[in-house]
Chain A
Amino acid sequence: MSDIRDEQDAHEFRAEALSLWRITFGPLIWALHFVCSYGATALVCAKAGAEAVPVLRMGIGIGTLLALALIFWFGLQAWRQWDLRRDREWENDAGTGEDRHQFLGHAGFLLAAISFIGVVYVALPALFIGTCA
């Protein structure tokens, strides 16, 4: 009897550990996108000529779309995990496994949303400024 419970707990723990990791993915992609965009721009503007700028902007554009798609995907997973549409529970503050599970979904979803906005704002200069000046 106790063996089964332990096994169930261990399984639940593994699942939650994974979603604890997953809520960091949105901000991590945002940070990575930020460093790559600014780093590449600094390198290209310092070392390469003006002819490399369109390639750089294209690269930032592709990187941005990739980052947004990934964040969207993680956000969607988190949204499903939060399960708001089914139970309309905004707060999951009970100390149960289900509430913990949904709370991590809630946090992951909000972090994905802010990361999505962050990536868009970081990419805007590359969209609107065509030179290194």
Chain B
Amino acid sequence: MRLIPSVTLLRSTALLTGLSLLSACEGRQSVLNPAGRDAQDVLGLIWVMFGGAALLWFLLGAIFAYVTRVEPREMPRRWGEALIIGGGVIFPVILLGALLAYSLPMMAPQRAAEEGLKVHITAEQWWWRVAYELPDGRRIVSANELRLPVGRRTGLVLNAHKVIHAFWVPALGGKVDMIPGRETYLSFQPEEPGVYRGQCAEFCGASHALMAFETVVMTPEDYAAWLEAEAADAQKPASAEAYRGAEVFAREGCGACHTVRGTSAAGQVGPDLTHVGSRKSLGAGILQMTQDDLSRFVAHTEAIKPEVAMPSYDHLTLKDLRALAAYLKGLT
């Protein structure tokens, strides 16, 4: 009868574990659903560590159960000494040493040199400045989205502007701090095309939780085509509404902070908007790339992203906002 509480505990632990596994099934931002070599290595390490911890836990539990329930009598001195020194000192030292020895050789491959492409990512408050460095040294500037080719190792050169952030795409690999004034390096070798969510993983201020991004893994052919399009200047407004939006963009001085290549807008403070309409998300992974969300974000920036540098443009008329959104949406 005295065992009943622990059975209940076991059952609820099992239930909780099951629930957390279930919630990971969607997998866009989960270490349990790896989509690249590095994430597979990390997951393997997690299971080995979990196995080691479970082994220790169960053995310790078994020893406790034995001495308190199965044989609750005084045991010979030598047995007791063997149990404490063997089970409490020698066994954990060997097990922890083995786990350490298993995990250490995995560190260097997570930072293996890239094959061709390098991406420079600088963490800002609270968005991501992204620049693709081509083998010829040319840099293509973008923001708030990372695109990677499948099957090839891409280097990620990480930096931060004002405070410490951390770069983490759980489905693709490990997590690395981004430190102002100091370059850190990580490399990914994705293996399955798809869209995976990344998230800043080090508290960096009011909108830390709202600092995310999408990572799009593409086939090499799609990737080459995308990179070529991304290197090009912005498209001209294609409709009367978009044209009016471009005028609002110029009139309101958006170009003082944002760059739209091919126009006079060349600001460096905020995200590059040259191809903003082709991105999978808006506002660093928090809104949809739709006309509605675009006008909402421009009008209520400070409410949607607390303490962000961009002011809310709530003085614009609804018509101007819609036009501006149409222009931005058309920048594909």
Contacts and interface: CB of A to CB of B under 8 A. Distances in A.
A133 to B, nearest CB: 4
A129 interface: yes
Interface string B175-187: 0000000000100
A120 interface: yes
B94 to A, nearest CB: 10
Interface in B112-129: 112
B108 A133 contact: yes
Contacts of A129: 104-105, 107-108
B84 to A, nearest CB: 11
B176 to A, nearest CB: 12
Nearest to B111: A133
Contacts of A133: 107-108, 111-112, 185
Interface residues of A, number: 12
Contact of B97 (A124, A125, A130): A124
Nearest to A120: B97
A128 B104 CA distance: 6
Interface of A: 113, 117, 120-121, 124-125, 127-131, 133
Given A121-B100, A125-B104, A127-B104, 17 more contacts: A113-B89, A117-B93, A120-B97, A121-B97, A124-B97, A124-B100, A124-B101, A124-B104, A127-B101, A128-B104, A128-B105, A129-B107, A130-B108, A131-B108, A133-B108, A133-B111, A133-B185
26 contacts: A113-B89, A117-B93, A120-B97, A121-B97, A121-B100, A124-B97, A124-B100, A124-B101, A124-B104, A125-B104, A127-B101, A127-B104, A128-B101, A128-B104, A128-B105, A129-B104, A129-B105, A129-B107, A129-B108, A130-B108, A131-B108, A133-B107, A133-B108, A133-B111, A133-B112, A133-B185
